[in-house]
Chain A
Amino acid sequence: MATVLDSKKACAVNPLKMSQPLGACYAFLGLSNTMPMMHGSQGCTSFGLVLLVRHFKEAIPMQTTAMNEVSTILGGMDNIEQAVLNIKKRANPALIAIASTGLTETKGDDVDAYLRLIRAKHGETLAGTEIVYVSTPDYVGAFQDGWAAAIKALVAAFVVPAETPVAGRIGVLPGAHLTPADLEEVRELIECFGLNAVLVPDVSGSLDGHIPEDFTPTTLGGATLGDIRGLGACEHVIAIGEQMRGAVERLEAVGVPCTLFDRLTGLTATDALVALLMRLSGKPAPARLKRQRGQLQDAMLDGHFHLGGKRVAIGAEPDLLFALSSLIAEMGGEVAAAVTTTHSPLLARVPTTEVLVGDLEDLEMRAVGCDLLITHAHGRQAATRLGIPLFRAGIPQFDRIGTAHQLSVGYRGSRDLIFQLANIFLAHMHAHGPEDWPLPAEAVAAARGQPAAGCGCGSSISDEVVIPIIPA
């Protein structure tokens, strides 16, 4: 449907995009008792860490190999060795998960080989701690690509193929665009059919804002190594987002049946998931789910008055862009501008005429005349300049709290999202004034008895129609 274009500018202005290693580390944060680490200069980790802290308002465990220029040129083997040993000693995690950066990729560090050597040298010291590595250069792709690469690496490293699947075990591979609340909703949907859900990764376990009993230096909650290994013994795996295709292909290669949903926002999308769960469980949909579906139908009926015909500009990563755009279009709105961060086969299917891989300056220029801007918190300056409301979606949202609990999947999430969007339009309803429907010059001239054509310049006819006053 949509034409996909690349920005022709040399300079990105007001970036929409975040980098791959950060997306990878975000995925690792959804694993239990884990220490994510970027192999790069300390600033790479520091920026990413601050961004996630400000979004989630949570402590974020994330380490760095602290490369300097000398170690970069000589190669980062020593730094990775020291880092791994330091982390083992100080935090003793079940998993150390390493993402490369632009710096170490430019040098060309062979981290897989380093890790084999380190394992051989310190096997005993490192017993009980797994190490996984994913290549994520900053200068390729974007945040969701890093997330996808990390999960593909986890599947490749740990999944154990099973002879017979465990009855009722359903694996879930969520995309980076789903919030902790979204994951909880997916889990509940699966469990209400009497099935067991195993989410990999599971940021709803680690970044949902719970209060732990004690201080811990690693992630707390999330998918365990056992959960990842156990993906191989799932009856079925549900992946959410086109970005998960790589991981799905790996699972299918070891014989795990998978279904990839391009989105779970909206009625038809949720119906498709529910239909699959009915087939997998052999059970009818529970009454409360039927009720939720009715609520969503009602929300769509109430909401279409406010969303119908509205022009919306969206800046988001491909999977989130597709989910939001599809919902807007299904509600009768128009996706008038769409800007994204990276390429995806999904972009051509976004319900709009053109999708640009660009930045927030591009979005701002294309959003002129729109009724609503949807993007992450960095859109706040553009929304102010445009004089239109901003609906925050995606990461980062540093100027709001409770971002982990934004829900937009399933019947309930779609219902709430429709209400939120409609309420924005209600709050910004344009009240009409006397100047709103001016007549064109042609009509005014006609009413004054002037000739229809010509501008009337130099004409002696008065500008005003003289209205005689009739005394009472």
Chain B
Amino acid sequence: MDARVSAKIQSVFEEPACEHNQNKDEKARKKGCTKQLSPGAAAGGCAFDGAKIALQPIADVAHLVHGPIACEGNSWDNRNSSTSGPQLYRTGFTTDIGELDVIYGGEKRLFKSIREIIEKYDPPAVFVYQTCVTALIGDDIEAVCKRAAEKFGKPVVPVNAPGFVGPKNLGNKLGAEALLDYVIGTEEPELTTPYDINIIGEYNLAGELWQIRPLLDALGIRILSCISGDGRYHEVAQSHRARAAMMVCSKSMINVARKMEERYGIPFFEGSFYGIEDMSDTLRQLARLLVQRGAPADLLARTEALIAVEEKRAWDRIAAYRPRLEGKKVLLITGGVKSWSVVAALQEAGLEVVGTSVKKSTKEDKEKIKEIMGEDAHMIDDMTPREMFKMLRDARADIMLSGGRSQFVALKAKMPWLDINQERHYAYAGYEGMVDLVREISKTLFNPVWEQVRAPAPWETPALEEAC
């Protein structure tokens, strides 16, 4: 493997800010976070996919994939990360290498591609993504990017995360490393304020950032850079001047948060926008960090006042669904990110959570779930699609909330289902998001189609069968 990639992977595996990592012994840590994949029984994206997910939301950059057509042609414009301005990130750029490039090397084609993009689209920067085939034949994308940056006088950033080095979450981190190495801290902002923050690891899926932004705007907190949702190249380049940072709890960019603290002294906390209590907690922590860093202390009181108003408004709206939803059973299968924070909102609406996945939850998360759901909380570590199908068909749950992968398990069991994963089209962040989630659950549960699709066909009706 490319020694540079190899070193990067070791460094992201040794993440000191990751508790999960710190609890491992020396040997386990060396092995890294990547479970060896089981051929023939694996699912999920590759490292390139992860790097692209992490960086593509930077909307004004041209994202160029150096590889055969599969890597971009089979996947482009398929994310739901929203922009408030530039559309260039939705344009698919790829070197689409052919057989001759595989034999003679693809570096020349890559260099020419960068030139074509700059001449035609003039973006503030070009990001170049390495893939398996071009890595295997030894194309040196770092060297090509360096030469292109000199020649064209524009940042050209190599993102060295070919698919075969590991899974998607490793790719998230390798993508983030490219920002640390080539982007962050390379430009100075025109002005700064004591209220400048970075949000790290938020991708503005379905426009969720805009459910949060009005709260921050009202408090006078300025998002200097969101890495990377609705991002702009220059904002990311200037993000090292923020006073504080929030790392979104999925940990996908923990390395950015920690290294920015190391390099630029920007303190960070791990927070979540999902769930009412979590949202409030996030606002409190942001305010506290900013005040610690010199923002006027009245921010704390203003934050509490905003929280009081918004929490009441949200709980009142959620409680209104209680009469309809009381006693309905929910099966909650998330990637495992703090499912307890969603559980609280569902319970407030009168829903009974009959099971929740804890596949990626930490020990503390599990304790918290027990606290909320009681000692006999049904925690599911890993559920096969067949088990899910059975559980739904036997009506042990009225609705399943999960990611797209299990969508058809629910629908084919003729059971209500709601997408709460990253491909979803509804925004569920902040106070507004939780109210919307409960509204969507209600809408889905009470749709008249369920009764109709479950009704027996004429030829399944005993009386008719006898008559024929």
Contact = CB atoms under 8 A, between A and B. Distances in A.
Contact of A68 (B75, B90, B91, B165): B165
A139 B412 contact: no
B142 interface: no
Contacts of A398: 78
A63 B163 contact: no
B64 interface: yes
A12 B70 CA distance: 12
A21 interface: yes
A69 B1 contact: yes
B102 interface: yes
Contacts of B41: 63, 83, 86-87, 90
B389 A214 contact: yes
B78 A12 contact: no
Contacts of B15: none
A140 B99 contact: yes
Contacts of B101: 139
B133 A139 contact: yes
Interface in A287-336: none
Contacts of A117: none
A212 B47 CA distance: 35
Contact of A212 (B43, B71, B412): B412
Contact of A72 (B68, B132, B404): B132
A65 B39 CA distance: 4
B40 A18 contact: no
B136 A103 contact: yes
Contact of B78 (A54, A139, A212, A359): A54
Contacts of B407: 59
B133 A106 contact: yes
Contacts of B73: 12, 15, 17-19
A431 B310 CA distance: 50
B305 interface: no
Nearest to A38: B70
A256 to B, nearest CB: 33
Given A14-B91, A41-B163, A103-B164, A215 B409 contact: yes
Nearest to A84: B40
Contact of A18 (B64, B69, B389, B412): B69
B39 A82 contact: yes
A11 B42 contact: no
- For this complex, into which size category does the number of interface residues on chain A fall? 35 or more
Interface in B163-219: 163-167
B287 to A, nearest CB: 39
A47 B98 contact: no
B433 interface: no
Nearest to B388: A215
B137 A106 contact: yes
A137 interface: yes
Interface in A95-122: 101-103, 106-107
A102 B112 contact: no
**A40, A41, A86, A359: residue with the most chain B Cβ atoms closer than 10 Å:** A41
A13 B91 contact: yes
B48 A37 contact: no
A177 B115 CA distance: 35
B74 A18 contact: yes
B117 interface: yes
Interface string B218-256: 000000000000000000000000000000000000000
B44 interface: yes
Contact of A106 (B38, B102, B167, B385): B102
A37 B49 contact: no
Contacts of A9: 116
Interface in A61-91: 63-69, 72, 79-80, 82-87, 90
A266 interface: no
Q: Which 6 A-B pairs have the closest CB atoms?
A: A43-B46, A83-B40, A11-B113, A86-B40, A10-B112, A83-B39
Interface of B: 1, 37-49, 64, 67-78, 87, 90-99, 101-102, 109-110, 112-117, 120, 132-133, 135-137, 162-167, 385-386, 389-390, 404, 407-409, 412-414
29 contacts: A11-B114, A12-B69, A13-B93, A13-B117, A14-B92, A17-B73, A18-B70, A18-B74, A19-B69, A19-B73, A21-B70, A37-B40, A41-B163, A43-B45, A43-B163, A47-B49, A47-B74, A64-B39, A64-B40, A68-B165, A68-B166, A69-B162, A72-B164, A80-B39, A82-B38, A83-B40, A87-B41, A103-B163, A106-B136
